[in-house]
């Protein structure tokens, strides 16, 4: 079993053999490391250390913000670029719900591994926000598939929906950041 060490300055945990002259995370001298006994079992830690949920959530968050920005551009771009912009918005809108499914699934798995249940107050908030994000993304996809939305009254509805998914993504990230290092021992 590896000898774990923790940086006293920033809390970074690594194998003793990985420590060189300075902490790889914060740069303080290696003498700032102390022995560390991880409170989470090795089996759970191996899965949590893959960080599948934090990785998976970046795709829908990036799509949501990109759709918001592209929807803003649609108010100002020349008509000659409208077809290209519309195709891009349509493609990203249709893909967004499909990228949300693994993000939500890995979030539920991560919550279960970290806290042994997904009914904690912050996880409940994340689940509700995820459902709002997903439902809004499905509505956006349905809108772009059913009609041409740019330069129509529907564009304003679509624009508001991009604000909602962007806010959901941001709030989910803020809550997730608070939970990232929290783990139920054992």
Which stretches does DSSP call E strand in the chain?
Answer: 4-7, 13-15, 33-35
pLDDT band (50, 70, 90) for residue 41: confident
Do residues 33 and 19 touch, judged by C-beta distance below 8 A?
yes
pLDDT at 45: 81
Among 85, 65, 99, 60, CA closest to 149: 85
Q: What number is the average pLDDT over the span 1-8?
A: 82
- pLDDT score at 185: 65
27 and 79 in a single domain? The answer is no
Bridge partners (DSSP) listed for residue 5: 14, 35
Q: Which domain holds residue 80?
A: 44-179
pLDDT of residue 90: 95
Mean pLDDT over 151-163 rounds to 91
Note whether 16 and 55 are same-domain residues.
no
Comparing 25-29, 81-85, 124-128, 145-149, the range with the smallest average pLDDT is 145-149
Residues 103 and 26 grouped into a single domain: no
Q: Examine residue 48 and state whether it is found in any structural domain, yes or no.
A: yes
pLDDT tens readout for residues 12-21: 888 888 888 9
Separation of alpha carbons 129 and 133, rounded Å: 6
Q: How many domains does the chain have?
A: 2
What is the pLDDT averaged over residues 98-111? 95
pLDDT at 49: 83
For residues 68-96, average pLDDT:
94
- Based on the fold, state whether residues 13 and 49 are members of the same structural domain: no
Residues near 159 by beta carbon (within 8 Å), at least 6 away in sequence? 68, 71, 72
**Residues 22 and 54 grouped into a single domain:** no
| Residue among 163, 133, 147, 136 nearest 86 (CA) | 147
Residue 10 lies in a domain: yes
31 and 111 housed in the same domain: no
Q: For 118-130, what is the mean pLDDT?
A: 93
Q: Tell whether 184 is covered by a domain.
A: no
Q: Does residue 61 sit in the same domain as residue 150?
A: yes
């Amino acid at each position: 079993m590896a000898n774990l060490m923790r940086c006293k300055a920033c809390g970074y945990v690594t194998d003793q053999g990985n420590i060189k002259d300075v902490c790889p995370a914060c740069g303080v001298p290696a003498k700032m490391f102390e022995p560390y006994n991880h409170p989470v079992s090795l089996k759970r830690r191996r899965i949590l250390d893959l960080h599948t949920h934090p990785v998976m959530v970046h795709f829908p968050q990036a799509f949501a913000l990109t759709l918001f920005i592209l929807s803003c551009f649609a108010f100002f771009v020349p008509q000659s670029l409208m077809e290209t912009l519309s195709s891009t918005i349509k493609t990203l809108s249709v893909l967004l719900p499909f990228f949300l499914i693994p993000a939500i699934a890995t979030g539920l798995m991560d919550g279960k591994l970290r806290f042994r249940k997904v009914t904690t107050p912050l996880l409940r908030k994340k689940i509700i926000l995820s459902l709002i994000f997903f439902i809004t993304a499905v509505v956006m996809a349905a809108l772009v598939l059913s009609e041409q939305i740019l330069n129509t009254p529907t564009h304003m509805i679509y624009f508001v929906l991009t604000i909602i998914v962007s806010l959901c993504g941001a709030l989910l990230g803020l809550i997730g950041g608070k939970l990232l290092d929290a783990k139920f021992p054992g």
